[in-house]
């Protein structure tokens, strides 16, 4: 166990408990020991406490991302659990849930246990594996849900592909309901999507790239809403991109259906205008959509229709992204730019307070998985993110801890500079610019 730690003089922001004031945060034995005067006197008087001056910075619960592609096993040329979680730590994340579309997919106990084991020896943050809904993500035979939950799976998804068959989706919801875990749907009707590569609209018309209509997503979310209502199972909608999808989810919540949703940074800061240069780093699935869709997503985040904020961190090699648009793979990396982009999309324009943003990146995503946490309450794991909301920094892919560089934000100036990331009281990332700690 490292020495006890005191983060001194920061603005402690713990929105889940309504706390926002300048005070010290005390950590001992990997747990939060207390805030300010509430910390045990015995600890405050100890001489071996490492004191880190974080004046001017925000001290928040560790960020959580429930939509990350770590690519291990099988696609280690793109990313590994080691590099992906280092990237997470550098972005202020202390927990990530990883997607099962690996090679082979995470559809049985050995493969889920493999991720748990690899994470134990190589990860820089907590890794929660999400398992496939169907064997091989082929959409036909269901996985052994109960066995996989016991092995560590926190949710099920065929992400990368939808669960297309409504009967399979219905049975999956029925079988996972007693386990208390959601089915995460990559909502996309494959027939409506066809071979589309960008949002269907004026930009696709102009640049001659095949469109993916917004209804490819919304139609399936509407179907899943009814399946969730009938079965009582929980559906979480991954990477929401379209205004119509927000409307469907809002309706579902009004009907009291157990349904949640997430969106990504890129869908909040970019529109399909970005693809007009054929930059393959603007190719993602679901695609960047219209300005109207972007506004509806922001409104959905503000009013809580969209429960939480994820990244859909999707690493690819430079070689794969080098070439024409049609043949490039979908997806961009997002862990190291997420906080800055969400600040830009939501906090800087005053759509959300900083606390409301943190809530959507900490407690809310955990709640989607049916888990507690995301606070700085005494006794909780000391998963902490320290960042300077005012400090401007420039995005440089060459500095990423991720193996991958594929993203369209090179050179963007963002705020929300991550200074320190702690997982269980241990430092997993520390910015070079941080002033040295004093004893």
* Binding positions for other proteins, rule: CB under 8 A: 200-202, 204-211, 277-278, 319, 322-327
Minimum CB separation of residue 205 from other proteins in Å reads 4
26 vs 325, beta carbon nearer other proteins: 325
Please state the separation of Cα 68 from the chain's center in Å.
6
**Residue of 272, 312, 383, 388 marked active site:** 312
Whose tokens are 């049916």? That residue is 370
* Percentage helix, strand, coil for the chain under 3-state DSSP, each rounded to 5: 35, 20, 45
Residue closest to 73 by CA, chosen among 84, 81, 64, 61? 81
Question: Alpha-carbon distance 279 to 323, whole Å?
Answer: 9
Q: Cα separation of 355 and 345, whole Å?
A: 15
Of the candidates 20, 23, 61, 55, the one whose C-alpha atom is nearest the C-alpha of residue 39 is 23
14 is catalytic: no
For other proteins, give the closer residue by CB, 53 or 320: 320
E strands along 276-432, which residues?
308-309, 384-388, 393-394, 413-414, 417-423, 426-430
For the bound state, the minimum distance from the C-beta of residue 200 to other proteins, rounded and expressed in Å, comes to 5
Which CB, 66 or 198, lies closer to other proteins? Answer: 198
Helical H segments across 70-183, by residue range: 81-90, 109-122, 145-151, 166-176
Helix axes 215-231, 166-176, angle to 10 degrees: 40
Distance CA 342, CA 268 (A): 8
Residue 412 Cβ vs other proteins, minimum distance, rounded to whole Å:
20
Whose CA is closest to 13, among 344, 384, 265?
384
Q: Which is nearer to other proteins, 208 or 411 (CB)?
A: 208
The rounded distance, in Å, linking the Cα atoms of 377 and 269 is 33
Q: Annotated catalytic sites, by residue? A: 312
């Amino acid at each position: 166990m490292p020495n006890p730690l005191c983060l001194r003089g920061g603005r402690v922001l713990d929105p889940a408990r309504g706390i926002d004031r300048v005070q010290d945060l005390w950590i001992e034995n990997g747990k939060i020991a207390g805030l300010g005067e509430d910390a045990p006197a015995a600890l405050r008087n100890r001489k071996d406490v490492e004191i880190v001056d974080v004046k001017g910075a925000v001290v928040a619960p560790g960020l959580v991302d429930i939509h990350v592609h770590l690519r291990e096993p099988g696609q280690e040329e793109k990313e590994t659990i080691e590099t992906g979680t280092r990237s997470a730590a550098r972005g202020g994340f202390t927990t990530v849930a990883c997607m099962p579309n690996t090679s082979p997919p995470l559809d049985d106990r050995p493969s889920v246990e493999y991720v748990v084991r690899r994470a134990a020896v190589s990860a820089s943050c907590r890794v929660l594996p999400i398992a496939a809904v169907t064997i091989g993500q082929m959409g036909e035979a269901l996985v052994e849900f109960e066995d996989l939950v016991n092995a560590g799976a926190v949710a099920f998804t065929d992400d990368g592909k939808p669960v297309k068959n409504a009967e399979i989706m219905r049975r999956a919801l029925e079988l996972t309901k007693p386990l208390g875990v959601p089915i995460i749907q990559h909502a996309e009707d494959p027939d409506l999507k066809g071979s589309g590569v960008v949002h269907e609209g004026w930009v696709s018309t102009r640049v001659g790239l095949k469109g993916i209509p917004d209804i490819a997503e919304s139609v399936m979310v509407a179907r899943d809403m009814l399946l969730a209502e009938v079965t009582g199972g929980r559906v979480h909608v991954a990477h929401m991109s379209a205004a119509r999808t927000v409307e469907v989810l809002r309706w579902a919540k009004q009907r009291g259906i157990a349904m949640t949703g997430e969106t990504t940074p890129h869908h909040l800061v970019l529109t399909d205008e970005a693809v007009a240069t054929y930059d393959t780093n603007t190719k993602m699935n679901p695609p960047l959509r219209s300005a109207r869709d972007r506004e509806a997503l922001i409104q959905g985040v503000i009013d809580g229709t969209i429960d939480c904020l994820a990244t859909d961190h999707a690493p690819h090699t430079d070689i794969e992204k080098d070439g024409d648009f049609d043949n490039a793979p979908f997806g961009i990396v997002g862990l190291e730019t997420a906080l800055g982009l969400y600040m830009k999309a939501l906090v800087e324009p005053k759509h959300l307070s900083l606390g409301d943003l943190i809530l959507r990146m900490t407690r809310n995503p955990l709640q989607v998985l049916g888990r507690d946490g995301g606070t700085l309450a005494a006794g909780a794991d000391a998963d902490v993110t320290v960042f300077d909301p005012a400090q401007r920094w420039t995005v440089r892919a060459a500095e990423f801890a991720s193996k991958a560089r594929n993203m369209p934000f090179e050179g963007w100036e963002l705020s929300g500079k991550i200074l320190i990331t702690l997982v269980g009281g241990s430092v997993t990332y520390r910015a070079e610019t941080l002033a040295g700690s004093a004893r």
